[in-house]
Amino acid sequence: MLKGKHIILGITGSIAAYKAAYIIRALVKKEAEVQVVITPAGKELITPLTLSTLSSHPVISEFFSNRDGTWNSHVDLGLWADAMLIAPATASTIGKMANGIADNMLVTTYLSCKAPVFVAPAMDLDMFAHPTTQQNLDRLRSFGNHVIEPAEGELASHLVGKGRMEEPDRIVEILEGFFSQKQELKGKKILITAGPTYERIDPVRFIGNYSSGKMGFALAEACAQRGADVALVSGPVSLQAKHPAIHRISVESAEEMYQATVSRFPGMDAAILCAAVADYRPEVLEKEKIKRESTGEMTLHLLPNKDIAATLGEMKEGKQRLVGFALETHDGLHHAMDKLRRKNLDFIVLNSLEDKGAGFQYDTNKVTLLDKEGRVQTFPLKRKEEVASDIIDKLSALLKKG
């Protein structure tokens, strides 16, 4: 799977830098082409001569060569790569990557790189556990980078804990796994709704909810990574879709989401309805800001919004598949099953606010999948990216069956 792949290996100033030699050897053995970019601190721990000999490429560290003025283009390098792996990644480099501090060749290359990025942290256990490091790693994850969790064990400081860079063979296995990822959704078109909707009351106020869009965006990335073309209809969220196969359509209200979704559904193979759509909107949209002084006590008269899932359930034809969500606070299984039938879904993803770490805004979710054949699959609390993968596994199997 790695044969012919172009891999940038970023090496930073950790004692684990010596393991980079083993990574190069393993990658080259699998016929990948490796280009090393090393930070100045990295060069203190392993020599460029070792790395260039193993990779058969000159090692890049500076923006240009003092000897002959040759310019090293981080942009060209970023475009050349099929993947960038930073191993070992120190707390300092992780911080720079998370905050765009491009003061060396490695971080500028990272910022220019369009290919998937893998980060293998290596540091002392307390540095790894520090909230700054954890927040920076979360930030990298939110950019779509893959963090290869460090292992527990004896560290360079002789302390024992989590912070030891994952073993080279395992890192290479992870890269291999990534490239062998099934592209089983190639040629499929998938429509996804995400985020909240805002229902305007007046120019400064709205009715909304806490949805961050994380679950819906994770689903969009998972589908795109497996080869699908994704139309992502999103309510107001601050997230960015990263994969080039995701076409984002931004909407605000439930009515706008309804129009954007219903008009696109006929050309789709499947739709996943993850948005937290407001069930009601104010009957009247005030043109000017409502003033408490002149209005006093007030009553909002609300009208029900159209149900997007139920509409698509009626429109669904032939091999089209429809996946809904149910966000519940009690009697989850009962309510989810009811929605599954009422909206003519193929399966429904139940998440409950009764479960800690599940639902709105968390990076994690805990879901149960219920299908129309009555099968029930319960999953433990996982990161939303992993939850998305579980959901897409089930959808893929359904689409394959036809």
Helical H segments across 119-237, by residue range: 125-129, 131-142, 168-179, 214-225
In the complex with ligand PMT, the residue whose CB is nearer, 227 or 236, is 236
322-361 as b/e: b if 16+ CB within 10 A: bbbbbbbeeebeebbbebbeebbbbbbbbbbeebeebbbe
Which is catalytic among the residues 99, 145, 209, 344?
209
Binding mask 252-271 for ligand PMT (x = CB under 6 A): --x-----------------
209 assigned to active site: yes
By CB under 6 A, is residue 225 in contact with ligand PMT? no
In the complex with ligand PMT, the residue whose CB is nearer, 37 or 251, is 251
Q: How far is the CB of 260 from ligand PMT (least distance, A)?
A: 12
Query: Minimal CA–CA distance to 214: which of 396, 391, 388?
Result: 388
Query: Minimal CA–CA distance to 38: which of 29, 23, 30?
Result: 23
> What's the chain's Rg over C-alpha atoms?
25
By CB under 6 A, is residue 305 in contact with ligand PMT? yes
Residues 164-223 close enough to bind ligand PMT by CB under 6 A? 193, 195, 211-216
By CB under 6 A, is residue 391 in contact with ligand PMT? no
**DSSP for 91-143, written as a single string:** HHHHHHHHHT---SHHHHHHHH--S-EEEEE---HHHHHSHHHHHHHHHHHHT
Answer for the pair 80, 86: CB distance below 8 angstroms, yes or no.
no
Q: How far is the CB of 399 from ligand PMT (least distance, A)?
A: 18
339, 340, 392, 399: residue in contact with ligand PMT (rule CB under 6 A): 339
By CB under 6 A, is residue 325 in contact with ligand PMT? yes
Report which secondary-structure segment, H or E, holds 27. Answer: helix 19-29
Answer for the pair 202, 175: CB distance below 8 angstroms, yes or no.
no
Q: How far is the CB of 132 from ligand PMT (least distance, A)?
A: 24
Query: Residue 373 CA to chain centroid, in angstroms?
Result: 30
By CB under 6 A, is residue 351 in contact with ligand PMT? yes
By CB under 6 A, is residue 307 in contact with ligand PMT? yes
7, 117, 326, 369: residue in contact with ligand PMT (rule CB under 6 A): 326
20, 60, 175, 276: residue in contact with ligand PMT (rule CB under 6 A): 276
361, 375, 378, 397: residue in contact with ligand PMT (rule CB under 6 A): 361
In the complex with ligand PMT, the residue whose CB is nearer, 2 or 191, is 191
- Distances from the Cα of 264 to the Cα of 232, 271, 339, angstroms: 11, 10, 22
- Of the candidate spans 45-53, 161-169, 356-364, 393-401, the one that interacts with ligand PMT by CB under 6 A turns out to be 356-364
Query: Active-site residue numbers?
Result: 209
